[in-house]
Chain A
Amino acid sequence: MTAKRLQLIALQIGFAAALVALWWLCNVTGLIETSILPAVPDVATQFFAVIERPDFRNGLLATILDAFRGLACATAVAVPLGVLIGMFPGLERATRVIVDFGRSFPVIALLPILVLVFGATSLMKIVAIGIACFFPILLQTIYGARRLEPTIVDTVRGYRIPRRLRFLKVLLPAAGPYIATGMRIASTVAILVSVGVEIVSLAPGIGREISLSRSYNETATAFAYIVYAGLLGVALTVLWNVLEARLLRWHLRAKAE
C-alpha cells in the first residue's frame, strides 16, 4: 500500500516535472520569448530570492489579511440577512432578481469608482472583496435556511418557539453547513478579487508586486510571485478541508448514516 502510494507521488512529481521540462524546452528553442515566458532557472532563483524581500512578505500578508477582512465583513452582513430572507418566502422571491444580478456582477468593474472614492488603499480593496464575497454567502445561507426539514418546521411551530429562538437555535445551525459552503466559495473569490484589484489599482498586496515587477521588466520575479499566489490558493483549499472536517463533523456524520 505504502509502496503504491510512493509510486503515485513519484508519478505526480514526474508529471509536474514534465510540464516544467516542456516550459524549459520553449525557452531553449526560443519558441516563446522570455519576456512572456521567462527561463525556468531564473524563475526558480527568484522563487527563493524573493523570500528575502520585505515588499514580498508585506505584500503577501496584505493580500491575505485584506481578503480575510473582506470575507469577515461580508459574512457578518450576509449570514443574518440570508437567514432572514430564507425565513420569509415572499422576501425570498422579492430579492431573487437582486441576488442573481449581484452574483453575476463582475465586481472588478466597480474598481475605477472605488479608486476614485477611496484611493488605491487597503480599505478600497476590502470594500471590493466584501461586495464580491457577499453574494455567494447570501445565496448559500438563503438556500440553507429554506431547506429545513418539514418535521423540524412542524415541531418549531407546534411548540410555538419564539421567532428569536427559532432564528438563533434552529435556522442558524441548520444553515451552518450551507453557510460554510458559501464562505468556502467566497474565500476563493476573496483571494482572486484581492489579487485582481491589486494588479489593476496597485493597492498594496502580492498583485501589486506582480504588476510592478512586470513593468520593471523583471518577468522572472513576476512569475515567482504568481507561483506564490497559486500556492496561496492551494493552501486555502487544504485549510478549508481541515476546518470543515472539524466544524461540521456532526453534519457529515448525520449524512453518512
Chain B
Amino acid sequence: MQRRILGIMLGTFFAALIAMPVVLKHFSERHASIGTAPQRAAVTARYGFCFQEVAKAAGIDFTHRAPTLDAKLAHIMPEVTALGAAVSIVDVDRDGWQDIYVTNSGEGSHNHLYRNLGDGTFQDVAAAMGVADVNQASTGVSMGAVWGDYDNDGYEDLLLYKWGRPELFRNEQGRRFVRVTTHAGLPSWINANTAIWLDYDRDGLLDLFIGGYYAEHVNLWQLTTTRMMPESFEYAQNGGRKYLLRNRGDGSFEDVTEQLGITSRRWALAATAADLRGSGYPDLFIANDYGVSELYFNEGGARFREVGKQTGVGFAPKSGMNAAVGDILNQGQFAIYVTNISEAGILLQGNNLWVPKAGTAGESLTYENLARAMGVELGGWSFGAQFGDLNNDGYLDLYLTNGYISADRERSYWYDFSKVAGGNTTIISDAQNWPPMAGRSLSGYQQKRVWINDGAGQFFDVAQVVGVTDTYDGRAVALADFWNRGVLDVVAVNQKGPLLLYKNTVTPDNKWIAFELEGSVSNRSAIGTQVRLFWNGHEQVQEVSGGSGFGAQNQRRLHFGLGKQPHIEKVMIRWPSGQEQTLTAPQIGHIHRVKEPV
C-alpha cells in the first residue's frame, strides 16, 4: 500500500516536471513583452514615447543592394553577402543639423549622404560631394563608414571600410570631399566589417582601428580557393587581421598594431572604444563572430593588453555582432552590450549585457552577464543595437535590430547550417561543403526589440506598441536628434532592404539636455570626451564615440534624458587631454555647445 502511494506521488511529481516548461513559458511571455498597439497618444502617455516611420516623407528612398561575389560561392551567396548595410551620423557642414551617410554594397551601387535641410526633409548630396560612387568589384564594396576630424580642421572626415580597399575622404569645409587614401597610407585591401576612430595615445590626433573579417589576402570576387570560411563555428582564428593606425599628424597613418600588442585573427564584426576603467585612455572592445569577444585595456597609450578572460567577457564563445556601451544603471560606469544568435530550439547563445561587478574597478574590473536578469537576452539573430534614452525618463533604453536572411518563409536553412557548422574544421572551412541555400530563409522576418529601462534593473520590450513593426533583415542602427527637438530618433538600415527613419515623439513632461563638444587641445571631434551629469541624485556618464553598435555611428552630440522636474547639480566634462571642466546648473531643454578651454 505504502509503495502504491509512493508510486502515485512519484508519477504526479514526474507529470509536474513535464508540465513545468509549458507553465514557465506562459508566465515568461506575459512578463517579457508588452502587447500590441493601442493608439499613439495612449502609447506616448503610457511609455513616454512613440515612433513613426517617416523615411519617404522625409525624402529618403534608399534600398540596400548586396554584392555578387565569385561564382564558386553562388550556392551560398545570400549567406556570404549578408553584410554591408551600414549607417553613420554626421553634421557634415556644421549647420547644426544631423545628416545621414548610408552604405550600399552592390557592385556599381552608390552610397548616399542625406543632408538634413532642417525642415524635416533630407537631400542626397553624396554624388555632388564625391562620396557616392565607391563600390566596384575591382576595389571592393562598402561595409560601413565612420566620421572623425582626423586633421582637426573642424569638419568631419570620412573613413569608408569595405571588403576591399579602405578609403579616406577629407571634408573640404563641408562643401566636397577629397580622396586622400594614398597619402594616408591605408592598407591596400581589408575585408573589414568594423572600424572606429579613437585617440588611443591622447595626442590630440584621431587614430583608426579597423577590424578584418575574412582574411585580407582573400579577394571575394576572385577566389583562389574556397577554403576561406571560418575554421570553426566558435573558435575560429583564421579571420582578418586587425589594424591600429596611428595618426602621424601629417595626413598619414602608421601601422602600430603588433607593436601595441594586437595580434588577433578572430572574425571581428564590431568594435567600440571607451574609457572603461577611468584611466583617461580609451579601452578597446571587439565583438567577434565565431568566437569570444576581446577586451583590450589601454596601458597609457603605449600598449594594449587583452583581458577578455580576466574580466569575464572573453570566456564563452558566441557570434558577436555588436558592441555598444551605456551607463544603464546611472552609476557612472559603462555596461557593454554584445549581440549574438538566438533561435528557439536550435541555438540559444543569448545576447550579453556585461555589467561591471559591484566593487570592481580599474585594474580589478570584472564583468558579469546580466542580459537575462535584466530582460535583454533574446533578440533573435541580433545585429546592431544602441543605447539611448528614447523616452527622456533619465534611463538609457536599448534599440535592437535583427534578422539574418529573409527569403522563402516556409523553408529554413537552419538544418543544413547546423549540420556543417558542427563539422570538423576541414569541412566547415571549405565553402564547397556548404549545402546550397536554394532560396531558404535563415532566421528571417524577425521582430525588432525596443527595450525600455524601468530604472530598477529591468528592460521591457515595447517595439510593437511604440510603432517599430518592421521585419526586414536589420543590420545597423544609429540614434540622433534629426529635428533638434530634444529627442532621439532612430535610423535603421536593412540588408537588401530599405532605410527606415523612425521619428520619435516624446512626452513633454520628460525633460532633456544635450552637449555638443569641440576639442581644442584634444581632437576636435572630441571623441573620447566623457560627460558626467549629476541630477536628482542620479549620475550618468556618456562618452563621445567614434563608432559603436554594428556598422554604425551615433550622433556625436550627447543627449541626456532627465525625467520629470529635474534639478541638475553639475555637469563634469573630462576631455581626452585630461582637462576637466565643470558646468553648474546648465539650462535644461537646451543643446549646449561647449569648446574645450585652451
Q: Do A and B interact?
A: no
